[in-house]
């Protein structure tokens, strides 16, 4: 695991777009396509992003903005192998609290975060997609 290099942004954008379309099949694919440039030029550069590589290939990444988990994506060919959990554990070592939003219909992600110690704090509504989101939070035990 290491920090993302600027020259690798395009690789993680591809992981993000493919993963977003697959995990959020209840949202029009064009919505995700329309956000690609924002991810590349705004969201990823403003985040602290860490990657996991396997054989020189980026297989997973996590992006944090302070205590907010902005993105956690695993390449679809490498899911269910523990990469997402490893990234989350790494962040939890360095933060006392982590917050995130996840679409309520993204059952796999909701279950993943619940299984990793997150709790649902609030139900929200995303005006851009007209979908319900869950605000989730994890706090380090004292």
Give the dihedral sign, CA 88/35/30/122: positive
> Side-chain half-sphere of 91: how many Cα atoms within 13 Å?
30
The CATH number of domain 2-139 is 3.30.420.40:
no
Model-level pTM?
A: 0.93
Dihedral sign for Cα 77, 79, 83, 87, please.
positive
Pairing of strands 48-54, 57-65: antiparallel
SS3 at position 4: coil
Per-residue confidence (pLDDT) for residue 125, from 0 to 100: 97
- Which segments of the chain have a pLDDT < 50? none
pLDDT of residue 141: 87
- At 87 the pLDDT is 96
């Amino acid at each position: 695991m290491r920090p993302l290099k600027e020259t690798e942004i395009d690789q993680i954008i591809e992981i993000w777009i493919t993963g977003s379309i697959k995990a959020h099949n209840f949202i029009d694919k064009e919505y995700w396509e329309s956000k690609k440039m924002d991810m590349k030029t705004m969201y990823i550069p403003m985040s602290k992003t860490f990657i996991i590589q396997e054989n020189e290939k980026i297989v997973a990444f996590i992006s944090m903005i302070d205590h907010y988990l902005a993105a956690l994506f695993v390449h679809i060919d490498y899911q269910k192998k523990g990469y997402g959990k490893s990234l989350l554990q790494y962040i939890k070592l360095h933060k006392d609290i982590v917050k995130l939003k996840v679409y309520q219909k993204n059952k796999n992600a909701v279950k993943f975060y619940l299984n990793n110690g997150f709790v649902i704090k609030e139900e929200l509504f995303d005006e851009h997609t007209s979908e319900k989101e869950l605000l989730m939070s994890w706090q380090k035990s004292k």
